Amino acid sequence: QVQLVESGGGLVQAGGSLRLSCAASGRTFSNYAMGWFRQAPGKEREFVAAISKSGGMTYYADSVKGRFIISRDNAKNTVYLQMNSLKPEDTAVYLCAASPLGAGTSRGLYTYWGQGTQVTVSS
């Protein structure tokens, strides 16, 4: 089992920045690729960003490319999502997820999920 706990969400004005963190425990963190997803009210959960087990490869949804940066610190068992130039349409619950298979955009790759942290961007 892998336990994931997100933090860092909050209310921010459009154009602002937030840094989300996801702390993992329970298994060897570096054995898992990590992803960030988000879910807005009434919408499907969507892929945001992913990072490979070593951190050498990253993937982004087109909607966040150039604004968000995913990174990880395997010594601290933590994955981060730096979110810049935030827009109201970025408002959602952000969830991190762990994949033993590898990084990718599909929800089906990810076995473990956190509870999420709310991000609200005001216009």
Per-residue pLDDT of the chain in tens (123 residues, 90 and over written 9): 899 999 999 999 999 999 999 999 988 999 999 999 999 999 999 999 999 999 999 999 999 999 999 999 999 999 999 999 999 999 999 999 999 999 999 999 999 999 999 999 999
Q: What number of other Cβ atoms are within 10 A of residue 4's Cβ?
A: 23
Tokens coding 59: 């993937």
Amino acid at 114: G
Cβ neighbors of 36 (< 8 A, separation 6 or more) are 20, 22, 48, 49, 50, 70, 79, 81, 94, 95, 96, 97
- Give how far the C-alpha of residue 5 lies from the chain's centroid of Cα atoms, to the nearest Å: 11
> 75-110 pLDDT, tens per residue?
999 999 999 999 999 999 999 999 999 999 999 999
The token duo for 36 is 């960030």
Q: Provide φ and ψ at 80, rounded to 5°.
A: -120, 155
Contacts of 5 (CB under 8 A, 6+ apart): 22, 23, 114, 115
